[in-house]
Structure 1
Amino acid sequence: MTVKENIDLSTLPTLKESYDLTKEQVESYQEKGHILLRNVATQDEIDIFEPIISNRVKELNYHDKPVEERDTYGKAFIQIGRLWEQSEAIARFVLAKRFAKIAAELMGVDGVRIYHDQALYKEPHGGHTPWHQDQIYWPLDTDKTITMWIPLVPISEEVGSMTFASESHKAGYISKVVISDESHRTLEQYVKGKGLQTVTYGAMAAGDATFHAGWTLHNAPGNPTDTMRKVMTVIYYADGTRVAEPDSNARRGDLQAWLPGLKAGDLAQTPINPLLYKKGE
Structure 2
Amino acid sequence: MIASSLPALNNKLNLDPAQVRAFRQDGHTLTRGLLQPGEVAAYREVINDAAYKYNTETRKLEERDTYGKAFLQIMNLWACDEAVKQFTLAKRFAHVAADLLGVDNVRIYHDQALYKEPGGGFTPWHQDQYYWPLDTNNTVTLWMPLVPITEEMGMLTFASGSHRGGSVKNIAISDESEAELDAYIRNKNYPITRATSMQAGDATWHYGWTLHCAPGNLSAVTREVMTIIYFADGASVTPPINKHQENDRSQWLGGLQPGEKAASSLNPLVL
Q: CA deviation at 1:19?
A: 1.4
CA-based RMSD: 0.9
Distance 1:157 1:139 in 2: 32
What is the percentage of aligned positions where both structures have the same residue? 49
Q: Which residue of 2 aligns with 1:90?
A: 84
Secondary structure, aligned partner of 2:236: coil
Aligned pair 1:65/2:59, yes or no? Answer: yes
Aligned pair 1:223/2:223, yes or no? Answer: no
Letter in 1 for 2:25: E
Q: Which residue of 1 aligns with 2:95?
A: 101
Give unmatched runs, 5+ long, in structure 1.
Answer: 1-6
Letter in 2 for 1:204: M
Distance 1:44 1:35 in 2: 24
Letter in 2 for 1:188: D
CA separation of 1:71 and 1:160: change in aligned 2, threshold 3 A: closer
Secondary structure, aligned partner of 1:275: coil
Q: Which residue of 1 aligns with 2:170?
A: 176
**Contact 1:166/1:198 (<8 A) preserved:** yes
Q: Which residue of 2 aligns with 1:133?
A: 127
Letter in 1 for 2:233: D
Secondary structure, aligned partner of 1:29: helix
Secondary structure, aligned partner of 1:276: coil
Distance 2:154 2:118 in 1: 13
Q: Which residue of 1 aligns with 2:195?
A: 201
Q: Which residue of 2 aligns with 1:79?
A: 73
Q: CA deviation at 1:61?
A: 2.1
Distance 2:58 2:2 in 1: 33
Aligned pair 1:273/2:262, yes or no? Answer: no
Deviations 1:248-273, CA, capped at 9 Å, x for gaps = 11111110011123111111001110
Distance 2:3 2:167 in 1: 41
Correspondences of 1:234-273 after superposition (within 5 Å): 234-273=228-267
Distance 1:248 1:9 in 2: 38
Pick the aligned partner of 1:114 from 88, 108, 114.
108
Distance 1:181 1:93 in 2: 33
Give unmatched runs, 5+ long, in structure 2.
Answer: none
Q: CA deviation at 1:10?
A: 2.9
Distance 1:113 1:141 in 2: 14
Q: CA deviation at 1:160?
A: 4.5
Distance 1:86 1:253 in 2: 19
Letter in 1 for 2:4: S
Distance 2:104 2:211 in 1: 25
Q: CA deviation at 1:158?
A: 2.3
Distance 1:266 1:64 in 2: 37
Q: CA deviation at 1:243?
A: 0.8
Aligned pair 1:165/2:166, yes or no? Answer: no
Distance 2:152 2:217 in 1: 8
> Structure 1 segments of 4 or more deviating over 4 A?
none
TM-score by length of 2: 0.98
Q: CA deviation at 1:26?
A: 0.4
Letter in 1 for 2:139: T
Q: Which residue of 2 aligns with 1:53?
A: 47
CA separation of 1:8 and 1:58: change in aligned 2, threshold 3 A: closer
Q: Which residue of 1 aligns with 2:12?
A: 18
Distance 1:157 1:242 in 2: 37
Distance 2:105 2:58 in 1: 40
Q: Which residue of 2 aligns with 1:3?
A: none
